[in-house]
């Protein structure tokens, strides 16, 4: 019985010592691979940090990016992606299940926006801000459409 208790105690101590050795050191300067691979200029342009969703009761905003070199192709791609993303995000707001008519109405609202701001190409990437502006859009999407 004493041997069993001793073996159990040694096993617990060994496990605790081993688990402490495998923890990475706590260093606030450690960055993830993604953070290290981002160019500094990209972090500073501010587009990645812009809020998405309802900015106020009459404005809905989405931020997208494009890797296309040609500015007109980049904007065309961004507009297409932004419309799809806007539909998906808007459909996530209503708390109740939507009817087909409700989904269609939200899709029409989401696709009625336009690109309002563009970044200069930075490391091969351009950012675009897509906004839908309509009086009372937030209330309409969140609670009035069924």
Domains of the chain: 47-144 (3.10.28)
Q: Which residues of the chain have pLDDT under 50?
A: 21, 25, 27-44
The residues near 54 (Cβ < 8 Å, ≥ 6 apart) are 60, 61, 137, 138, 141
Q: What is the pLDDT of residue 35?
A: 44
Q: What is the pLDDT of residue 43?
A: 43
Q: What is the pLDDT of residue 7?
A: 64
- The SS3 of residue 72 is helix
């Amino acid at each position: 019985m004493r041997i069993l208790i001793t073996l159990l105690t040694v096993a617990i101590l060994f496990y605790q010592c081993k688990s402490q050795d495998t923890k990475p050191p706590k260093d606030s300067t450690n960055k993830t691979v993604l953070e290290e691979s981002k160019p500094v200029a990209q972090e500073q342009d501010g587009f990645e940090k812009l809020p998405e969703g309802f900015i106020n009761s009459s404005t809905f905003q989405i931020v997208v990016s494009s890797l296309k070199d040609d500015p007109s192709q980049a904007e065309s791609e961004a507009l297409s992606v932004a419309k799809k993303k806007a539909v998906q995000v808007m459909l996530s707001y209503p708390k109740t299940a939507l009817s087909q008519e409700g989904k269609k109405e939200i899709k029409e609202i989401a696709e009625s926006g336009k690109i309002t701001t563009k970044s200069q190409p930075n490391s091969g990437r351009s950012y675009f801000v897509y906004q839908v502006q309509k009086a009372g859009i937030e209330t309409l999407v969140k609670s009035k459409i069924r």
